Amino acid sequence: MKKIRLHKTLVIGIGISFLIYVGSLFLPMFSDDKHSSGLLGLMLGWSGFVDHKPFMAISWTANITFLLSILLYAMPTKRRFILSIITFGLSLFALGFEEFIFGEKGNIPGIAFFVWIFSFLTMIATFYIKWQQEKSLL
């Protein structure tokens, strides 16, 4: 019975986190530009590696670690928890870049950034709760 509850906690938490993440893709990425969505950032964020924009490139890698924390189901919960903390840390680099793809300076992060980051916090909470539940079973 407890094992089912543990699995249910994980599925619900990951599901909520993923839905928040997907929702961020359809919100404005910058507060002063309503036409750039989070989806644009997901598709073009990797270009920071090519354009020598380290804040953009590093923060984009949070998408990869986020997906890894979901897909690596066999990984122990403690490691997934640590990976989700790394994801959150990488995502904070997004707050440090001033220009995006087309050289626009002074863009203020929009709601998409904060919802995106919140999805990572939700993932941290999910893995932490699951990890604590597993510890209580020992």
pLDDT digits (tens, 9 = 90+) for 19-75: 999 999 999 887 776 677 888 888 888 888 888 778 888 999 999 999 999 998 788
CA distance 131 to 125: 10
CB neighbourhood size of 30 (10 A) = 20
Residue 100: pLDDT band (50, 70, 90) is: low
Domain ranges of the chain: 2-137
| DSSP assignment letter at 99 | -
Residue 41 in contact with residue 57, Cβ under 8 Å? no
| DSSP assignment letter at 37 | E
In this prediction the pTM is: 0.86
Residue 106: pLDDT band (50, 70, 90) is: low
